[in-house]
């Protein structure tokens, strides 16, 4: 097939969506299809000016925020540009990950595969940047999303949490909704075996840029309680700097995955830690959970969003309710420190989950089957 891959950045750019766009491009390329980059369409300066007038008008009337990414004005303007462009092309399929606003109102007959890690409707008042919108903006957002899901030939989500919402909330036909879980965006050991020392310090790794949304302080307070109880534990923080000075806390404010030496340092910490501890407040598909599984690292987190698609409570990690406190987390972790054989069992189960579900090769195989069932336009 000739596939048009819609993206704001070049398909070879590994920074795009934290490397996820590149991984999808890589897998589809391996299937032997011809892929052409369709660069995301944008508004002209005059169109942007008209949009700003509309946004200002809305805010003056409703005194509330307006979704500047998903709205009918931009959807219509971009759809016209997409349709005009596609008339001159001969794509069999359009792959449009995350492009809910740009393809919702297109009229092209070309088959469209839409992909996302969540429905925007789920993110309203869940993610900080999707909060504070007025009722009309929220209704507009969800109406556009419904049109996108209806328009797409296939809708792909990375978790059952997102897929079920599309079916139950928007009424999308179940056969049009598929779950393809993401993989790791860095290399993982090919022949992994559990060989970690459990008699020494137990390391809890917090690997995240956003200390607030990922609730790093909750992880820190939990490890502190365990430390005060006499357990030989420490915390390794990578990606942010909360300015903690305890001797059992080590902080690396930033490591760049695009730098080979710094990437190797991240991989070594994944290899040598005992748990990934990121009790996130809100998340769709944390790629770092897939990466942790590749390194046989059990995850301690929150049962929120799409997290449970990647972490099985009691088997590959520990998931607690969103309202859980540091004491709740310490109570859940303590049995693992008392009977450390559980850590090994969870580690092995985590790697098994990676091999069976959370890898890009599996994503590619499933995508191959989906493409075979799509009739070229």
Q: Is residue 220 part of a domain?
A: yes
Judge if 159 and 42 occupy the same domain: yes
Summarised one tens digit per residue, pLDDT across range 232-252 is 999 999 999 999 999 999 999
Helix, strand, coil percentages (3-state) for the chain, rounded to 5, are 45, 15, 40
* The 249-252 sheet, strands edge to edge: 249-252, 233-238, 202-207, 275-277, 299-302, 317-320
Q: Are 180 and 156 in contact (CB under 8 A)?
A: yes
* Residue 355 clears pLDDT 90, i.e. is over it: yes
**Segment 24-38 mean pLDDT:** 97
Q: What would the DSSP string read from start to end of 223-264?
A: HHHHHHTT--EEEEEES-------TTEEEE----TTSHHHHH
Rounded to the nearest angstrom, the gap between the alpha carbon of residue 85 and the centroid of all alpha carbons in its chain is 30
Per-residue model confidence (pLDDT) at position 117: 98
Summarised one tens digit per residue, pLDDT across range 275-287 is 999 999 999 999 9
Judge if 249 and 262 occupy the same domain: yes
Judge if 31 and 117 occupy the same domain: yes
Q: Is residue 152 part of a domain?
A: yes
List of residues 6+ apart from 359 with CB closer than 8 A: 183, 184, 290, 294
Q: Is residue 188 part of a domain?
A: no
In 3D, which of 291, 301, 311, 288 has the Cα closest to residue 333? 301
Judge if 129 and 178 occupy the same domain: yes
- How many CB atoms are located within 10 Å of the residue 197 CB? 9
Buried b (16+ CB within 10 A) or exposed e, 138-154: bebbbbbbbbbbebbbb
Judge if 269 and 151 occupy the same domain: no
For 309, counting Cβ atoms within 10 Å of its Cβ (0-12 exposed, 13-18 middle, 19+ buried), the class is buried
Judge if 287 and 146 occupy the same domain: no
Judge if 300 and 161 occupy the same domain: no
Summarised one tens digit per residue, pLDDT across range 112-140 is 999 999 999 999 999 998 999 999 999 99
Summarised one tens digit per residue, pLDDT across range 296-348 is 999 999 999 999 999 999 999 999 999 999 999 999 999 999 999 999 999 99
Q: Is residue 189 part of a domain?
A: no
Q: Is residue 331 part of a domain?
A: yes
Q: What CA–CA distance (Å, rounded) separates 149 from 162?
A: 12
Judge if 289 and 352 occupy the same domain: yes
CATH number for the domain including 153?
3.40.50.2000
In 3D, which of 311, 289, 292, 297 has the Cα closest to residue 348? 297
Per-residue model confidence (pLDDT) at position 230: 98
Q: Is residue 32 part of a domain?
A: yes
Q: Is residue 190 part of a domain?
A: no
Q: What CA–CA distance (Å, rounded) separates 288 from 29?
A: 24
pLDDT averaged over every residue in the chain: 97
Q: What CA–CA distance (Å, rounded) separates 42 from 45?
A: 9
Summarised one tens digit per residue, pLDDT across range 53-91 is 999 999 999 999 999 999 999 999 999 999 999 999 999
Judge if 136 and 244 occupy the same domain: no
Judge if 226 and 364 occupy the same domain: no
Q: Is residue 132 part of a domain?
A: yes
Q: How many domains does the chain have?
A: 2
Judge if 162 and 206 occupy the same domain: no
Per-residue model confidence (pLDDT) at position 377: 64
Q: Are 56 and 123 in contact (CB under 8 A)?
A: no
Please give the residue range of the domain that contains residue 61: 2-183+359-372
Judge if 91 and 206 occupy the same domain: no
Per-residue model confidence (pLDDT) at position 258: 85
């Amino acid at each position: 097939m000739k596939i048009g891959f819609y993206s704001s950045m070049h398909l070879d750019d590994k920074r795009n969506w934290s490397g996820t766009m590149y991984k999808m491009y890589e897998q589809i390329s391996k299937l032997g299809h011809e892929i052409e980059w369709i660069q995301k369409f944008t508004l002209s300066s005059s169109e942007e000016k008209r949009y700003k007038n509309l946004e200002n008008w809305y805010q003056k009337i409703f005194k509330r925020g307006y979704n500047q990414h998903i709205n009918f004005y931009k959807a219509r303007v971009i759809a016209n540009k997409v349709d005009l462009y596609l008339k001159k092309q001969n794509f069999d399929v359009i792959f449009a990950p995350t492009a809910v606003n740009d393809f919702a109102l297109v009229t092209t007959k070309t088959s469209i595969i839409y992909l996302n890690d969540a429905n925007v409707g789920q993110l309203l008042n869940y993610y900080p940047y999707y909060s504070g919108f007025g009722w009309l903006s929220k209704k507009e957002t969800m109406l556009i999303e419904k049109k996108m899901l209806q328009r797409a030939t296939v809708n792909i989500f990375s978790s059952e949490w997102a897929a079920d919402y599309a079916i139950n909330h928007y009424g999308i036909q179940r056969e049009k909704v598929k779950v393809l879980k993401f993989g790791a965006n860095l290399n993982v050991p090919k022949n992994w075996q559990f060989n970690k020392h459990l008699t020494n310090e137990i390391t809890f790794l917090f690997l995240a840029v956003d200390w607030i949304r990922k609730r790093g302080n909750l992880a820190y307070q939990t490890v502190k309680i365990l430390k005060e109880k006499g357990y030989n534990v420490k915390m390794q923080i990578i990606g942010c700097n909360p300015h903690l000075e305890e001797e059992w806390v080590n902080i690396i404010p930033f490591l760049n995955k695009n730098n080979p030496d710094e990437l190797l340092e991240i991989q070594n910490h994944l290899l040598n830690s005992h748990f990934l501890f990121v009790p996130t407040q809100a998340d769709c598909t944390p790629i770092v959970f897939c990466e942790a599984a590749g390194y046989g690292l059990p995850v301690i987190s929150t049962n929120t969003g799409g997290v449970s698609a990647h972490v099985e409570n009691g088997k590959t990690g520990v998931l607690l309710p969103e309202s859980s406190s540091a004491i709740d987390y310490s109570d859940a972790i303590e049995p693992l420190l008392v009977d450390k054989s559980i850590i090994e069992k969870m580690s092995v189960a985590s790697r098994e989950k990676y091999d069976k579900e959370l890898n890009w090769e599996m994503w590619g195989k499933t995508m191959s089957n989906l493409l075979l069932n799509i009739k070229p336009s």
